[in-house]
Amino acid sequence: MKVVLLNSTYEISKAVSSIIIEQITQKPDSVLGFATGSSPVETYKRIIEAYENGEVSLKDITTFNLDEYCGLPHENENSYYYFMKDNLFGKTDVDYNKVHFLSGTTGDIDKECQVYRDDIEKAGGIDIQLLGVGTNGHIGFNEPSESFTDGPFKVKLAESTIKANSRFFEDGQVPEYALTMGIGDIMKAKKILLIATGASKTHAVKQMIEGEVTPHCPASILQNHPDATIFIDNESAALLDKKNF
Ligand code: GLP
């Protein structure tokens, strides 16, 4: 696991977006795993700027998003599909035929999860998986538990996650369940970039980087990935013993 400590969210967004843009430049039909939440928003802005400046085209990429709330259709403003449309896809030339999402409204969850896994494999696997981390160490919606998950599945969200994510919901009504890629899916990505900034992430960052690898902090598994880079700022790094990376 590589750790990069930068001074601001802007610097992190420049660094992370450059890696993604370089990947697309080298391989226009790259397969990218995207994340939602506030952590990747600035990075998406930098990618949009690069697109607007004619530096990159997203028309040939294939995308897989990490997760989706159960019960929220694409048109719902709180769905992660809507988030991606609003924060990246709708502002670039992404081809929606190549956009993949777990459906929060499917009637057949087992099939939905199996098809998603098969689709990732058929696409040749994920070249870069972008991640944030929950305050409790979750990645995607893989909440702390007794064992690491494998493929996509339906999860009951932790109380702390519902509380943390309620800031995005005007009525505060966060769905209790979601569909998410499993830890096995995330670990298969060829390269992983995780962004963790701000004071609310200090404990998750400490455990993820310096703690033991345990499903009680799902992000700690990234210590075992051959090409995972964690981007942190001074605030989220506050509890780390080691500060020079
Ligand atoms: C959500 C998402 C995660 C995200 C995490 C952190 O629960 N499912 O993919 O990484 O929250 O969110 P934020 O970046 O807003 O802190």
Distance of CA 230 to the CA centre of its chain: 12
67 in helix, strand or coil?
A: strand
Q: Is the pTM of this model over 0.85?
A: yes
pLDDT score at 171: 87
Q: Which residue has the tokens 């004071």?
A: 199
Q: Is 166's C-beta closer than 6 angstroms to any atom of ligand 1?
A: no
- The pLDDT value given to residue 109: 97
245 pLDDT higher than 80: no
Question: Phi first, then psi: what are they for 233, rounded to 5°?
Answer: -115, 180
In a 13 Å sphere around the CA of 100, the CA atoms on its Cβ side amount to 23
Tokens of 139: 């990645």
Q: With contact defined as beta carbons under 8 Å apart, do 24 and 61 qualify?
A: yes
Ligand 1 binding pocket includes 37 (Cβ within 6 Å): yes
Percent of the chain at pLDDT > 90 equals 96
Q: Ligand 1 centroid vs 134 CA: distance in angstroms?
A: 5
Q: Write down the pLDDT at residue 165.
A: 92
Could you give the C-alpha distances from 155 to 24, 95, 181, in angstroms and in order?
32, 29, 10
Mean pLDDT along residues 224-238: 98
What integer pLDDT is reported at residue 145 of this predicted model?
97
Does 244 score more than 80 pLDDT?
no
User: How many other CB atoms are there within 10 angstroms of residue 117's CB atom?
Assistant: 18
Q: 67 CB under 6 A from ligand 1? A: yes
Ligand 1 atom 5 nearest Cα: 134
pLDDT digits (tens, 9 = 90+) for 114-145: 999 999 999 999 999 999 999 999 999 999 99
How high is the pLDDT of residue 172? 84
